[in-house]
Structure 1
Amino acid sequence: MAAQNVLYDAIVIGAGIQGCFTAYHLAKHRKRVLLLEQFFLPHSRGSSHGQTRIIRKAYPEDFYVHMMDESYQLWAQLEQEVGTQLHRHTGLLLLGMAGNPELKAMQATLSSHGLDHQYFSSEELKQHFPNIRVTKGEVGLLDKSGGVLYADKALRALQDVLCQLGGMVCDGEKVLDIKPGLPVTVTTTSRSYQAKNLIITAGPWTNRLLRPLGIELPLQTLRINVCYWREMVPGSYGASQSFPCFLELGLTPHHIYGLPSREYPGLMKICYHHGDAVDPEERDCPTALTDIQDVQILCHFVRTHLPGLKPEPDILEHCMYTNTPDRHFVLDRHPKYDNIVIGAGFSGHGFKLSPVVGKILCELSMKLTPSYDLTPFRISRFPGLGKAHL
């Protein structure tokens, strides 16, 4: 139980993967840190739950490729610390039509960074991945570093390590009020806390905390349908058959991605990288499966590309993305209060980068020089939101 009269070095609001890694890095720096979570842990109401996420180095942007190099190192370090496997290597197969600009950009960044990858023509794709039906003109690019992260296990591991390092985790405490200043005061449904610094990593609830602090970020919360598809022959799309994660580019307005069967026996996870705008409090309102446009897009994709799967999902779950207009993160200090740091807008691709994101948010709160150029992540890139104090 956190003591009410303690002055913390930092309070982190939101115990998703970004908040957990931020608190972890602060504790590593011997800071007295409190991690607050509005729901009782573990929970499935945010963006970090579920068993798996894709990890990859293939990105069109150089700055993400650069960040992923350290991210892999930090994931391995956490694995070693907790003695638990948090990552499985599978490779990531990028699929797209020959000449697809995003595919070409990923190939260029992998090449320029000297990362191991392999290009497949349409005929080579058919030979190497016979359980994928290739569209005419479709080619492939294998990011050999790609694989699967065990999301739920990673969250538990971080929370355990944080407590071992002396940090505090208080769940089931919704933040009701933030009073800026030195110290900053955070009032929850249970009590009030004070800290020298505050880091907000509240996912879809970010703007609810920021509005009373005089700023609103251009964030859109989307409900994502997480779909699982049954193998007609059990194991045919599993890791034992060396089937990789995949990312389909360009066939639909948004990416389609998939992971080898593991979470549910005989089921493969395939999702559409987009969803419907939703209030995070109403995420679980029921929707008829036949009315969900993205599921119909996935049904068509599975029918045409993955003939070894049944073309309707067996299981449908929900997750949330919090998207920025450019799909890049917000990693910055509040424009007015420099002891309030914001990590937001991870746009459905932040999990793999969370070790480095947490390090950056830790550095910002400690007034250290950030390890990376934060130009792509500054609040000031959004018109009308002013220049951030970095």
Structure 2
Amino acid sequence: MTSTAQPTASDAPPVADWVRIEDLYDDPYPIYARLRAESPVAWVPAVGRYMVTSFEACHQIEQDAETFSADEESSLMKRSMGHSMLRKDDPEHQVDRAAYGPVLRPKAIKETWTSVFEKNAEKYLAAFAAQGPGSDLHLGFAAPFAAENLREIMGFRNATQEDMQRWSQTLIDGTGNYADDPEVWAKAAASSAEADAAIDELVPLLSAEPDATLLSAVVNAGLTLPAIRANMKMTIGGGLNEPRDVLGTAAWALLSNPEQLAQVVADPGLWAVAFEEAVRWVAPIGMYPRQTTREVEIGGVTLPAGARLGVNIGAANRDPVQFEDPEAYNLNREKKPHLAFGGGAHFCAGTWVARTSVAHVALPKLFAALPNLRLSTRPAREGGWVFRGMLELPVDWD
């Protein structure tokens, strides 16, 4: 495949040269709404790819891996983390993916990991409560909770949750470095080297004495060392930011909508609904790349072979054709499928970790532990578009 620099054909998608990366980071949703209205597939020079913003077009891409390849040339994820399963197509993708199954399937989550999530929620909630009202829920609870869960699931006995946070943020910053900032690349490279060193130290130990962790599973599945490294770093990225960010987003949404919070508190079965609406409303992984393998028509336009796409899940999940009043957080909306966890062969392997750790453990424990939890007078902030979540979430309680 050869990638195109920009569209040239007379029937090519429109050029959205008004889109700026800094505006996407601050608030991408007005941009997505305009792109959907003008053309659900448009060339965006600022990011060097065709942005896909409608639910229908994103879903079409998800279901057609032969036409829309995950193995994009010049992938930022490959540069930041190595060639992981997320940038492979089947059958190569499935070889790597199969190693994850025994650790992340619902039965293993229930029998092995739920008790770990409960232990960590209690530990980090106690530490957060000790900080006192006005503290930042995002940095004080959501981030260390998600990081420690991931550290234990992955089996990084030679790292701390603080290491996991640093590695995750710098590696995903590299994956989303469409501005090509050299400082971002330097930090990503440093974290990549640290993670590789930790992995290399553990490989022989887990080969000799396997355990229930993810690192043990991939080592003993016979994956090559480069594949182990790349997949572990991919998991450090998405496996931390997704539960962390949906926890913060869900808390922010419920605290901003007291009547919906009252519903959930009165009916604990709605925590799962609150979680799904949160990932629909603000998709933690907002955009991922694909590359066309042939000329194809999508979203009413024709793309050449080798076209580099940005599949905007954050935009698709707010498409008014799919969701009524999509800009609002509403756990009472008609139940319809969202794309926050992707689809097809690349459906997120960590979905059940996120659902269980956040919806079944963290959110109920959070609102039970802190009486009259409420937003602080200091405003909350969110940011990002390739990855999006809370930046600050100051809260008070009695």
TM-score (norm 2): 0.24
Which fold has the larger relative contact order, with Cα–Cα distance below 8 Å and residues 6 or more apart in sequence? 2
- Higher strand content, 1 or 2: 1
TM-score (norm 1): 0.24
